[in-house]
Each structure stands twice: as structure tokens, then as C-alpha cells.
A and B are shown apart, each in its own frame.
Chain A
Amino acid sequence: MDRKGQLGDQILIFAFIFMMVIIGGGIVIGTYFYIGAEFDFRATEAKLLGYSIKDCILSDSGWLGDLKTNPDLFYENCRLNKKLITENNAIRICTATDVQGCINQQIGQDVFAVGNYALCDPGGSNKLVGCSVSSFTKDNVDYVVIATSKQSIRRSAR
């Protein structure tokens, strides 16, 4: 019995699997290049959230001052879902004139904050989150609103 020959035959299966992985990988990568990856919506969602917050603050009827004692007022008045905002987004509202001033502001000095807004790097290389920054003035006070989104599509059995 030629044991060496038999061993050679069995080792050949690794080469076969290796070739299939290479060919399969090539097909998968090629398909992704041809069709494209997921439609990236994070930046749009962050901008939309920032706009909603700005719109909400500008139409504030006195609740903004009470946010420190009752943060839920923000969700109620801006008609935002607390659970989803906590899961998918981060928000920081500051009384500052620029973004860096808002980011550097210590926690507790801001008007309102939820989630890891420090991930927001406007114009930077952070591709983990969509990011939006807007600034405006209301009653002679300068506000900066930082909003982020990290939500991606979910596949679910329905």
C-alpha cells in the first residue's frame, strides 16, 4: 500500500478549499464593488436630528431652563423617542459660540447631553458616525447643537 501517495491525495483537499475561498472571496468583493455597499444614511439622519432640535429650541416656550432638573422635558417637547435616541444617536446642546468650545465644555455646564457626542469629528476622519453641527442665537444666547447617528439597517424576520 502506498501510504505517501494516499497522504498526498488527502492534503490536496486543503489546496482545493483554499482555491474555493480565493475564488469565492473574489466574487464577493467584485459584487460589492459593482453593486456598492449599504446606502449610508448616518450623516443625513444626524443633520435631520440637528435640524429638529434647532427648530424645537427656537420654538421653546420656557422649558429649556428646566432641562437640568427634568431632562425628559427635552424628549417630550421635541417629540423625540428617548429609547431610540439613547441607542442610535448622541446629542449635545451647549451655550457656546463654536463647536470646539462646545466639545471642550465640561459635562454639567452644557444645556443637555446624551450619548458619546465626542465621536463627532466635523470634517475629520471618523467614519463610525454621521455627524452634524449647527449654531444659532436665541434671546441673545449662542447655542451649538451637536448631533450624531450610528444607526445602520437591520435584517429581521417579519
Chain B
Amino acid sequence: MNRKAKIGDIVMDNVIYLILLVIFFVAMLTFVNSKMNGAVIWEDYYAKEIAQIIDMSKPGDIITLDVQSATEIAYKNKIADFEEIFLFDNFNNEVCVKLSRGKASCFSYFSNVDVKMARGESNWIFFMEPVNRLHFEIVESVD
């Protein structure tokens, strides 16, 4: 009987089981962590609420929103540039919110308007006054 070969088979079987177990463990950990972090849930919430506000607005309206929670989550998830958190796509009429690295959550607004930075401003988000705020202006659609 070839004992070395048999030992090799046993080790190989166990290595396969171990690899599968590690893959499973990492996948579960990533899934639960992404959910517990709350980024996707808050992205969903902010995208839909902002779309609702845009749908309710008329050209000329200037909107100011408390986005303290969003900036805190983005900071925890190492989003370096806070100007990337809220993205307005006037071509597709959609608002995208990104609170973690990777994909953003997007939602469309049916109102045919454009969203721009508020008049005279150079940033979307203003910090510490006393909470972080998102400023934007609703204007007539150019298309």
C-alpha cells in the first residue's frame, strides 16, 4: 500500500473543504458587513427622497437638505471626496447617491427640470453649519 499517496489524498480533500469554507465565510462576512454598515439602505433612502423633492419643485426653487447622516456614513466608508456623494445626471433625469466605494444607487425624477449648484455657490455640500447640508437649485430643462 502506498501510504504517502493516501496521506496526500486525505490532505487534498481537507484543503478543498477548507478553501470552500473560507470562501463561504468571507462571502457571508462581506454580505452582513455591507448590510450592517447601512450604506446601501441610506443610499436608497436619500436617492428616493431627493427625487421626490425634485418632483415637487418648480424651476427657480433652491433646496437645502440636512445630509449629516449621509456624510458620516461616507466618511466611515472612506469616501475621500464628499462632492461625489450626490450626483445629478440632468441628461437621464436621475439622482445617484454613493455612500461607499463601488456602485451608487440611482433613482429617476419624472419632472422635466435640471438640477444645478445653487446660484453663487461652488460646492454641493456645505460643512458644519451646524449640520452638513446639500444645496441645489432647480432650473428649466435645456433639452
The interface of chain A, by Cβ under 8 A from chain B, is 6, 9, 13, 16-17, 20, 23-24, 27-28, 31, 35-36, 38-39, 41, 44-45, 48-49, 52, 75, 79-81, 84-85, 88-89, 151, 153-158
* Chain A residues near B93 (CB-CB < 8 A): 81, 84
**A48-B56, A154-B106 known, 14 other contacts, Cβ within 8 Å:** A13-B17, A20-B20, A36-B41, A45-B55, A48-B52, A52-B111, A75-B112, A79-B111, A79-B112, A81-B108, A153-B105, A156-B105, A156-B106, A158-B84
Q: Which of A17, A28, A38, A79 contacts B31 (CB 8 A)?
A: A28
B19 CB, min distance to chain A CBs, angstroms = 12
Q: In the bound complex, do residue A153 and residue B47 qualify as a contact, i.e. CB atoms below 8 Å apart?
A: yes
Check if B80 is an interface residue, CB within 8 A of chain A.
no
Check if B81 is an interface residue, CB within 8 A of chain A.
no
* Chain B residues near A80 (CB-CB < 8 A): 110-112
Q: In the bound complex, do residue A45 and residue B52 qualify as a contact, i.e. CB atoms below 8 Å apart?
A: yes
Q: In the bound complex, do residue B108 and residue A27 qualify as a contact, i.e. CB atoms below 8 Å apart?
A: no
CB-defined A-B contacts under 8 Å, sample of 24: A13-B17, A24-B27, A27-B28, A31-B35, A41-B48, A41-B107, A44-B52, A45-B51, A45-B55, A79-B112, A79-B141, A80-B110, A80-B111, A81-B93, A81-B111, A84-B108, A153-B43, A153-B105, A153-B106, A154-B106, A155-B103, A155-B104, A156-B104, A158-B96
Q: In the bound complex, do residue A49 and residue B31 qualify as a contact, i.e. CB atoms below 8 Å apart?
A: no
Interface size on B, residues (CB 8 A): 41
Q: In the bound complex, do residue B108 and residue A9 qualify as a contact, i.e. CB atoms below 8 Å apart?
A: no
Q: In the bound complex, do residue B111 and residue A158 qualify as a contact, i.e. CB atoms below 8 Å apart?
A: no
A129 CB, min distance to chain B CBs, angstroms = 14
Q: Which of A24, A41, A49, A79 contacts B24 (CB 8 A)?
A: A24
B73 CB, min distance to chain A CBs, angstroms = 14
Q: In the bound complex, do residue B110 and residue A157 qualify as a contact, i.e. CB atoms below 8 Å apart?
A: no
With both beta carbons as reference points, the residue of chain A lying nearest to B93 in the complex is identified as: A81
* Chain B residues near A157 (CB-CB < 8 A): 102-104
Q: In the bound complex, do residue A48 and residue B103 qualify as a contact, i.e. CB atoms below 8 Å apart?
A: no
Check if B129 is an interface residue, CB within 8 A of chain A.
no
Q: In the bound complex, do residue A24 and residue B103 qualify as a contact, i.e. CB atoms below 8 Å apart?
A: no
Q: In the bound complex, do residue B111 and residue A154 qualify as a contact, i.e. CB atoms below 8 Å apart?
A: no
Report how far A156 CA is from B94 CA in the complex, Å.
Answer: 11
Report how far A27 CA is from B33 CA in the complex, Å.
Answer: 12
Report how far A151 CA is from B44 CA in the complex, Å.
Answer: 12
Check if B67 is an interface residue, CB within 8 A of chain A.
no
Q: In the bound complex, do residue A151 and residue B107 qualify as a contact, i.e. CB atoms below 8 Å apart?
A: yes
CB under 8 Å from chain A, chain B span 78-124: 84, 87, 93, 96, 98, 102-113
